[in-house]
Amino acid sequence: MSFSEADLTAIWLTLRLASTVTLLLLLIGTPIAWWLARTQSFMKGPISAVVALPLVLPPTVLGFYLLMAMGPNGVIGQFTQSLGLGTLPFTFSGLVVASVFYSMPFVVQPIQNAMEALGERPLEVAATLRASPWDRFFTVVLPLAKPGFITAAILGFAHTVGEFGIILMIGGNIPGETQVVSVQVYDHVEALEYTQAHQLAGTLVIFSFVVLLGLYWFQRKQKNIGLKYGA
């Protein structure tokens, strides 16, 4: 199996995008997941629905509205222009912003589920030891919710790698800038270059299978550990 220079560039760009988006989602998604796991506010339902929207919306619909928002007349576009950054569509930064929105539920929901599974007892014990809210979060919540964070990171990374529709809407097809692996496969198919398309598509299939297999193995291991120490 040999990849062309354009294929290798697309692979590198995809890995760079997925890594950046996963890191940002862990930073952004953690406080959102914590709030959703703890709050009793009537806003929990609407906020949860907004976070989960990418699960049911077609990528082109989400991509269209993000394109409008990030365009010259959009709210985000006007803000970035006021900062001297120009507009985000058809740039790598635009792909990052769009991918953060699109992969949000794949990171927030596993972390939220892990935090909800902790219950109140560990936090109450930490409070009796005079741990501050920040201490409780960093020394109790984060370590105990570690499996949720690992699952979220794996799902967020893998989902970003497989994006297509929203990438095409926001980034177009600019080599070295927005041409990720999924778009490169589409290009090969359009050019009837089926051998190259098979190589890239097959690589994505193997990657996805290995990621899911590793995730299931990890979840099974965590379940067995829980049964062992819970018995």
Residue 72 in domain: no
What pLDDT does residue 227 have? 53
Residue 64 in domain: no
- The structure tokens listed for 153 are 């990171």
Residue 136 in domain: yes
What pLDDT does residue 231 have? 42
Residue 86 in domain: no
Domain assignment of residue 120, given as a range = 5-58+100-230
Q: What's the gap between Cα 107 and its chain centre?
A: 6
Residue 221 in domain: yes
- Residue-wise pLDDT for 36-76, tens only, equals 999 889 999 999 999 999 999 999 899 999 999 999 999 99
Residue 78 in domain: no
Residue 38 maps to which CATH number? 1.10.3720.10
Q: How far is CA 131 from CA 37, 124, 125, 127, in A?
A: 20, 10, 9, 5
Residue 127 in domain: yes
What pLDDT does residue 64 have? 93
Q: How many Cβ atoms are within 10 Å of 106's Cβ, its own excluded?
A: 23
Q: How many domains does the chain have?
A: 1
What pLDDT does residue 127 have? 79
What pLDDT does residue 173 have? 87
Angle (nearest 5°) at CA 65 between 68 and 42 = 130
Residue 42 in domain: yes
Those residues of the chain that have pLDDT short of 70 are 1, 224-231
Using CB atoms within 10 Å of the CB of residue 199, give its burial: 0 to 12 exposed, 13 to 18 middle, 19+ buried.
middle
Q: Does the pTM exceed 0.85?
A: yes
